[in-house]
Chains A and B, each alone.
Chain A
Amino acid sequence: MNRVEELRREAAAAFAAAGYPTTKWEDWQYTNVAPIAKAEFENRPIRGATGGVDGVRISGWRDASGAALAKLGRYASISANPFVALNTARFEDAVVVEVEPGAVVSEPVRIAFHSDSPAAVHPRILVVAGRNSQASIVEQFTGAGRYFTNAVTEIVADENAIVEHYKVQQESAEAYHVGTVQIHLARNSNVTTFSLSFGGLLVRNDINAVLDDDNAECTMNGLFLTHGDQHVDHHTLLDHAKPYCRSRELYRGILSDSSTGVFNGKVIVRQDAQKTDAIQSNKNLLLSKDATINTKPQLEIWADDVRCTHGATVGQLDEEALFYLRSRGVESGAARAMLTHAFAGDVLELIKLASLRTRLEELIV
């Protein structure tokens, strides 16, 4: 039996044992996935990917290198999250992105998923960044109608590798989107991941990183915009396992109408992880009285010589700033949009890909 078949079998067993999470589970308290379970979508297999840019090899799992294949499923845990188990049991092909050691890739690798039939899809991505390499990856999710995307991305950064990862979620207004991004950082590596979440009716993103050797750095940035009855949940986990690592986390939520949001940011600093430097910031802007956000930082610190700070705020548009703009001739609606933009700017200005930044700026009104 090959490795993937074995993975699938274990994962199917894990999912059968656990079932879909319920709101009685601590990590799923605010996100009810019963509508996904009830919908009983048919599986729509995703065909393998090919192509690539200089210095990067992109293939399905069947054509991936043995070294890369050995990493598939090694980091995203099928026991910690039933949706990871479900993805692992059901993915047909995977997109394997291998960045050659030493390669400095300027052109971003773009991976796009589009759904337009009422089915479940289980996109699976593995990014293996070789030693001293540098690359950026953009994942894009779009679609039409009602469907379920259950994505898992594993990013494995080898020594001194630099990875910039963007997940742009623009699913249809009726779609369900559940996803895990699992990052593993080796010595001196540096991974930045953005979760840019705009679409979907019910959205849950888990973003986990293990800083597994000295002097690794992980940045997690996120921006989510919700309207109507959308529900968007971000659970992040930064696991500092080794000393001298840094993590930076900046999440911004903008909620309108009667939409709801969740931000749960967990930072674990293990006993070994002395000199950890971790900063977390989560700010939320409520544009309507009916919108709600649950935000919760969770720090678990077992080392004594560390610097960890966190801050979370929930607020409305600043009335004084609004009046200031209007007193200069800016119409009220435009002034609101300008202030909302300024709020989102904290995250958007960190996006290094100019074309992506411009495109996202236009989505914010």
Chain B
Amino acid sequence: MSAPLLEIRNLHAWIAGKEILRGINLTINAGEVHAIMGPNGSGKSTLAQVLAGRDIYEITEGEVSYKGSNLLELAPEDRAREGIFLAFQYPVEIAGMSNMYFLRTALNSIRKHRGEEPLDAFDFLDLVKEKSQLVGISQELLKRQVNAGFSGGEKKRNEIFQLALLEPRLAILDETDSGLDIDALKAVAGGVNATHSGERGLLVVTHYQRLLNYIVPDFVHVMHAGRIVESGGKDLALRLEEKGYSDWVEEPVARV
């Protein structure tokens, strides 16, 4: 059997003198969809950002292998070129930078890495047209500056549009569903499903079972205080929706 797409072993990460990830273990094989749920502050975004290469976190222990090699020694851009994609919980606004220019630069740097010719402006436009229909994003939006003045939902759609455009092997969606109405949610899920295949892996961070009706996970993990405290099938998400996280979260002894 080939190596897993992603294998995280005993990962510990710190920021600002605080240990946020406290021994994460997680294996994702090609073709699998994993969901991570967990209370606010449990470290879900930290894990997502660490996988994408954000260097403000200090990794003190553990290993991450991606397609059989050490992921942690790669720069963020090299991870992206190797097929890792993070849809940000809070996509960044970049005033003064055209979205189309940004997307074409991103796509062409990834294509170059794959040994493909850069797309010229015309071919790029054709591709944008095709992919924008896939995720239901208006082309007007794409012509604006990167996320500048976008609504929350528009930013999330732009993330999924980038996912469709860049065609990663491993996509990590950090609360892409938060704040979306049901139509936007369906559009986003439709876009994600259309790009999913047996070769790809998907890691979905969410607070809501609702998304998982549309993006059906093979595994659901519960994260709490920097650890995965339980894993199960998609039914686990339903149970969480009902009962909350009370099984894992201790009530504070005293409130001041």
Contacts and interface: CB of A to CB of B under 8 A. Distances in A.
B109 interface: yes
Interface stretch (A93-101, A147-155, A315-323): A315-323
A329 B80 contact: yes
Contact of A331 (B56, B77, B92): B77
B204 to A, nearest CB: 17
Interface in B79-99: 79-81, 85-86, 88, 91-92, 94-97
Contact of A338 (B76, B97, B113): B97
A342 B97 contact: yes
A1 B75 CA distance: 73
A324 B105 contact: no
A343 B94 CA distance: 9
A124 to B, nearest CB: 36
B226 interface: no
Nearest to A323: B54
Nearest to B165: A328
Contacts of B102: 325, 328, 338
B96 A327 contact: no
Nearest to B76: A326
Given A323-B54, A331-B77, A342 B105 contact: no
B80 to A, nearest CB: 4
Contact of B92 (A321, A329, A341, A346): A321
B88 to A, nearest CB: 7
Given A324-B88, A328-B162, A329-B106, A346 B96 contact: yes
Given A320-B92, A343-B96, A332 B106 contact: no
A327 B76 contact: yes
A70 interface: no
A328 B106 contact: yes
Contacts of A334: 105, 109
B92 A338 contact: no
B21 interface: no
A327 B86 contact: yes
Contacts of B201: none
A18 to B, nearest CB: 42
A327 B75 CA distance: 9
21 contacts: A319-B56, A323-B52, A323-B54, A324-B88, A324-B92, A327-B52, A327-B76, A327-B77, A328-B102, A328-B106, A328-B166, A329-B77, A329-B80, A329-B113, A331-B109, A335-B77, A338-B97, A339-B94, A341-B96, A342-B95, A345-B97
Given A319-B56, A330-B77, 7 more contacts: A321-B92, A323-B52, A328-B106, A328-B110, A328-B166, A332-B77, A345-B97
Interface of B: 52-54, 56, 75-77, 79-81, 85-86, 88, 91-92, 94-97, 102, 105-107, 109-110, 113, 162, 166
